[in-house]
Chains A and B, each alone.
Chain A
Amino acid sequence: NAGVTQTPKFRILKIGQSMTLQCTQDMNHNYMYWYRQDPGMGLKLIYYSVGAGITDKGEVPNGYNVSRSTTEDFPLRLELAAPSQTSVYFCASHFGSEQFFGPGTRLTVL
């Protein structure tokens, strides 16, 4: 199993641009999560999904959108990038108690 994979690894956006962060897991987990991690801070939950077709907001959803059309994929969409969205983004899937994290996407908005 590849586990949780994320693309791209790095990205620089201009203010106002849009992009989609991709996340895929091959473990057939129903639960998936998107977090952002700012320097010196813990992970903040953006959105999560308990299964295909079901998504819900986390602590910091403003400026983001998600979809979950399949069990495997959980993309995160930024429509109008802002400097405040500069962060490292982690996708995770959840089975039983354990969360499995992807390697992260480092996003800079200039």
Chain B
Amino acid sequence: GENVEQHPSTLSVQEGDSAVIKCTYSDSASNYFPWYKQELGKGPQLIIDIRSNVGEKKDQRIAVTLNKTAKHFSLHITETQPEDSAVYFCAENTGNQFYFGTGTSLTVIP
């Protein structure tokens, strides 16, 4: 559960465009994959999550996809807005512990 890789580390998009952030993990026992948004000076906040028995989940402009065979999952944000600018973290849950990616700093240019 310790190895979660996240790409890219920084991402700039024009307002209205889509943003995609990808994560890979190594522990096949992982069964829960949350995504967090962290605004400056604040703690991370859960924005969407997916369980291992589901391939895709959508919540308005945000979607997450999971490929358990390839051990990767992705966050998709459509119609980006300036308030989407933040640092995004993926994580995977194994047992009682959560392991986090290194974060993606997303900037939405008005």
Contacts and interface: CB of A to CB of B under 8 A. Distances in A.
A42 B4 contact: yes
A41 to B, nearest CB: 6
Contact of B89 (A31, A42, A97): A42
A59 B102 CA distance: 15
Given A40-B9, A42-B6, A42-B101, A31 B96 contact: yes
Specify which of B93, B98, B103 lies most central, judged by the most chain A CB atoms within 10 Å of its CB: B98
Contacts, number: 57
Nearest to B103: A42
Contact of A104 (B9, B42, B49): B42
Contacts of A4: 43
A79 interface: no
Interface string B62-103: 000000000000000000000000000101010011111111
B45 interface: yes
A99 B98 contact: yes
A99 B103 contact: no
Given A43-B89, A101-B43, A104-B43, 8 more contacts: A4-B43, A40-B9, A41-B102, A42-B91, A42-B102, A45-B99, A97-B34, A97-B51
